[in-house]
Amino acid sequence: MDIKGTTRVCGLIGNPVGHSVSPAIHNNLARLTGKDMVYTTFKVEKGDVASAVRGAYSLNILGLNVTVPHKSEVIDSLVDIDPLAKAIGAVNTLVRVDGGFKGYNTDILGLARELEDEGIELADSKVIILGAGGAARAITFLCSSKNAQCVYLLNRTVDKAEAIAQAVNAHFNNDKVIPMNIADYADIPGEDYVVIQTTSVGLHPNDEAVVIDDEAFYKKAAVGVDIIYNPAKTKFMKLIKAQGKNAYNGLKMLLYQGVSAYELWNDCKITKEEADEVYKCLQKELGINE
């Protein structure tokens, strides 16, 4: 990496940030595309987000990613925001514009591109989402924006699922999102669902943990996606595969949210070949063998 006086800087703000693999994504993309750009991390404490964003603009920083716990707080520091990111209430990518930064949510773009990569169609599909946190909210918005037939949103605390369902149904003026207590999963009718696991259950080192440990539930799946990427094969994925169905982890979602941000910052299009090479770099960085 050749850093010069002309090199543009991008980075990640959050706390903590030391574990992030975003530098591996963006610095490899810069290498592959020949961009004079470097990416690093910036630890920003809660309450310091506004001053960090102002400072980044003054320092001529090209763009920023935002991770926990700042994805909502940062919205007040933007001069513009993408409509879907505004509806979701979370921003993870800031793009430099006149006078400040515009906010986007490339997390959902990342999942959309992973699904596209794996040939999973959301339009007219029946979907089950496990969990009702920030990721589940974004993914529920994505499913409705892609005209899913219905979305069952399952969570132990049903109030959280109800709040997401109300927000998404109001935004799209329909009632396709159905909140449900996770204990009532047997009441979901029929089969052939796209099942998306959005909780942290099963994250390494708790590799054998799973939200629902019942073979009957996994018979409902046409395909499964776990947003966890470490381990590469979660217990959720194994249970889906035991039914003879395909299951995917969240590493491509992580990759493509970064690719989408990089494209916004540099006004370019990353090829499938370039994305695939960065994917291999990510696997190596994380010590993941699929």
Report the CATH number that the domain containing residue 79 is assigned in CATH: 3.40.50.10860
Residues 243 and 184 in one domain: yes
pLDDT tens figures, 189-213: 999 999 999 999 999 999 999 999 9
Residue 234 has pLDDT above 90, yes or no: yes
> What kind and span of H or E run contains 266?
helix 251-266
Question: Which tops the pLDDT comparison, 52 or 287?
Answer: 52
Domain membership of residue 1 (yes or no) is no
Residue 288 is predicted with a pLDDT of 82
User: CB 94: neighbour CB atoms within 10 A?
Assistant: 29
Query: What residues form the annotated binding site for NADP(+)?
Result: 131-135, 155-160, 227, 250
Record the tokens describing residue 168, joined without a space.
């998404």
Reported confidence tier of residue 67, pLDDT bands at 50, 70, 90: very high
Query: What are residue 64's DSSP bridge partners?
Result: 11, 94
Residue 1 is predicted with a pLDDT of 76
Residue 290 has pLDDT above 70, yes or no: no
Question: By percentage, how much of the chain surpasses pLDDT 90?
Answer: 97
Residues 34 and 133 in one domain: no
53 within 8 A of 91, measured Cβ to Cβ: no
Catalytic residue of the set 35, 71, 102, 235: 71
Query: What residues form the annotated binding site for shikimate?
Result: 20-22, 67, 92, 107, 229, 257
Question: By percentage, how much of the chain surpasses pLDDT 70?
Answer: 100
- The residue range of the domain holding 204 is 109-249
The domain that holds 123 is classified in CATH as 3.40.50.720
Number of domains in the chain: 2
| Pairing label, strands 8-14, 246-248 | unpaired
Domain membership of residue 275 (yes or no) is yes
Domain membership of residue 2 (yes or no) is no
Cα separation, 22 vs 282, whole angstroms: 9
pTM for the model: 0.94
For the residues of 60-77, what is the DSSP string, one character each? T--EEEE-TT-TTGGGGG
Residues 163 and 183 in one domain: yes
**69: preceding bond cis by omega (within 30 degrees):** yes
Residue 93, φ and ψ in degrees, nearest 5? -140, 130
Record the tokens describing residue 232, joined without a space.
């590469």
Residues 231 and 260 in one domain: no
Reported confidence tier of residue 149, pLDDT bands at 50, 70, 90: very high
| Distance spanning both ends of the chain, measured CA to CA | 29
Residues 245 and 113 in one domain: yes
Query: What residues form the annotated binding site?
Result: 20-22, 67, 92, 107, 131-135, 155-160, 227, 229, 250, 257
Mapped onto helix, strand or coil, the DSSP state of residue 224 is strand
Residues 80 and 64 in one domain: yes
Residues 245 and 192 in one domain: yes
* 219 classed as catalytic: no
Domain membership of residue 137 (yes or no) is yes
Mapped onto helix, strand or coil, the DSSP state of residue 267 is coil
Mean pLDDT for the chain?
A: 97
Residues 256 and 197 in one domain: no
Residue 30 has pLDDT above 90, yes or no: yes
